[in-house]
Amino acid sequence: MSKKETSDSDSQQEDGTSAPIVHLPVSEATEAGLPEPRELDHDEIHYYRGLVECILFLSTEPVALSALARRCQLDRANTRMLVDSLIDDHAERDGGFLLREIAGGYQFTTSERYSQAMKELFKEQKRETLSRSTLETLAIICYRQPITLPEIDEVRGVNSRAMVTTLLQKKLVKPQGYRPVPGRPTLYVTTRNFLTHFALNSLADLPPLEDIKELKFDDLD
């Protein structure tokens, strides 16, 4: 019996009549498990706004909108409204912290105005910095991805395998597919961790190649 015939026979009731077909709505993955959108009253806005702020303040990495909504048990529309209001408020306050959209999520960062002061205050802390050659390799991958190891070697003029291995260990780059040429060399791209470190929401936010110093590769640990 064919699949269609099986399906047709399964839809028949014992009395020979066709069983009604019920179509169930399927929620998008990002909406699944979230409450229905509703209008929040003044007290609820005040409470949930503070809750969102607390969650983001305590998070050590960017929090996606859908994850934030689930933690607050709110719909995405209200969650985005609250996050947007916090972004605007912290920007207007012009203090030491800013709320930014980074790597597809939201995270508090220190204001660029105080970056040099922070470096001076915490310079005594031991840091495992990347070598100049590893930073150079990261910059090449960043602006030419997806790119293979032989292509990186060609740009640098030297073997870069050890540098790529270090970047993989630091989770700043990852393998993503193969170049369809003889030998099928692995293609490398930057990761979400790379976006987070440089406070970028997406690769579209990268500065032009001539302004690459804006990324401050020298500060990468």
CATH number at residue 105: 1.10.10.10
- 157 and 86 within one domain: no
Whole-number pLDDT of residue 208: 80
- 109 and 136 within one domain: no
Distance CA 197, CA 144 (A): 19
- 138 and 110 within one domain: no
Q: Which long-range contacts (CB under 8 A, 24 or more apart) does 171-180 make?
A: 172/138, 172/197, 173/138, 173/141, 176/146, 177/146, 179/146, 179/148
Does a structural domain hold residue 9?
Answer: no
Q: Which residues is 177 bridged to in the sheet?
A: none
Taking the model in full, what pTM does it have? 0.61
Does a structural domain hold residue 214?
Answer: yes
- 167 and 211 within one domain: yes
Q: Quote the domain boundaries for residue 144.
A: 132-219
Chain segment 111-149, per-residue pLDDT in tens: 989 988 887 887 766 556 788 899 899 999 999 999 999
Chain segment 167-207, per-residue pLDDT in tens: 999 999 999 999 999 989 999 999 999 998 888 888 888 88
Name the domain count of the chain.
Answer: 2
